[in-house]
Amino acid sequence: MGLIDVRPIEGCGKLRRWYRATISVPLPVLNVNVYLADGDPPLLVDCATMAEECRDGLLAAFDAAGVRPERLVITHFHPDHAGLAGWLEGLGLSVAASAGTVELMEYYSRGRDSFEQTIRTFHSKHGTPERAVDEICNVSDWSDLVSFPRHPIVLEPEGGVAAGLVLVDAPGHCYGGACLWDKAEGVFLANDQVLGGITPHIGYEEHWAPKADPLREYKRFLSKLRGFSFDQILPGHGEELAQWEDEVQRIEVHHSLRERSLLSLAGDDVVTAYEIARRIFPDADSGLQLRLAVTEAMAHLQYLVSEGLMERREEGGMFVYKANAGISALERDLASCQVARGNN
């Protein structure tokens, strides 16, 4: 495999031409979109995973598009988007990302000892059984999937990347995540914040502060997006979204329904995040799927607690949650929503 497809983005060419290259990755997601732009400087946005097929795929994409990128911009630090950063730096590209992404890269680059205890403590305190915590620690070690850059450049929040191209703070899917808005060409590079037909994973990451509320920030990001004017969204996976407002609405409805479903699955029980995750995602019983399930359940629990619909307390060294009598209020809010269920 390697390069699956490369093609120009329609309607571009005032200041630069954008190309989408789809590269296969050795991960459950199977492939990722990276974007190339000619212009000054020539750019690569995201870079797939540290694997031979991805290295070959990227080089083939440069040839096919006729673009020799001088700068790599990383939208968010996940191994399907940032894995080859160090390798590309070695080829002479400068590597740039938001302050949060650079912080996360440095955190993971210090090796497993630096993050394992944080992950272990988090999942243990949220009720995950010991054996499953071991599996989660194993899948959290990305040292085989990422080559870390030595000298990443921090891009200013909401700052310019090139003429007519700005960085947009994009919380929700990943700590430090950013999108790129090419005002000159009318396109928005959305990383995994908005995807066609899929609901992006919004998780509460293990290293976050206790009051972090990624789902609230993500909802704020979606409503901010509605105020922007652009022709299409270029996502980190799948096809361009011409009807992007419909996708945004679908995702918003999905989250509201997920909150209602979580409250109903909790019922009158006192539950841990792990127990709720297993009720929402009964098939996610180990490894990466379980980590994603627990962190997503946590994002919803944090949101519901901050909305006053659930309570959180510590009991015997573990965090537990219980629904308040607020379900009817949430259901009232949802009464006008049409069901257009997304998957995860």
Q: From residue 74 to residue 113, what is the string marking binding to Zn ion with x (rule CB under 5 A)?
A: ------x---------------------------------
Q: Who contacts 223 (Cβ-Cβ below 8 Å, separation ≥6)?
A: none
Coil, strand or helix at 301: helix
141: its two tokens: 């070690």
Q: What is the CA radius of gyration of the chain?
A: 20
* Token pair belonging to 174: 């990943």
The nearest distance, CB 320 to Zn ion, in angstroms, is: 32
Residue type, 130: E
Question: Measured from the CB of residue 45, what is the shortest distance to Zn ion in angstroms?
Answer: 13
Q: Does 236 participate in binding Zn ion (rule CB under 5 A)?
A: yes
Burial of 156 per CB tally in 10 Å (0-12, 13-18, 19+): exposed
Region from 116-124, 134-142, 202-210, 230-238 binding Zn ion, contact rule CB under 5 A: 230-238
Query: Do the Cβ atoms of 304 and 327 come closer than 8 Å?
Result: no
CB of 235 to Zn ion, least distance (A): 9
Return the percent helix, strand and coil in the chain, to nearest 5. Answer: 40, 20, 40
Question: Does residue number 46 form part of the binding site for Zn ion (CB under 5 A)?
Answer: no
Stretch in the footprint of Zn ion (CB under 5 A) among 37-45, 52-60, 130-138, 187-195 = 187-195
With CB under 5 A as the contact rule, the residue among 135, 192, 213, 296 that binds Zn ion is: 192
CB of 47 to Zn ion, least distance (A): 12
- The stretch near Zn ion (CB under 5 A) out of 18-26, 92-100, 164-172, 234-242 is 234-242
Using CB under 5 A, count the residues that bind Zn ion. 3
What residue has token string 């590269």?
Answer: 23
Residues that bind Zn ion (CB under 5 A): 80, 192, 236
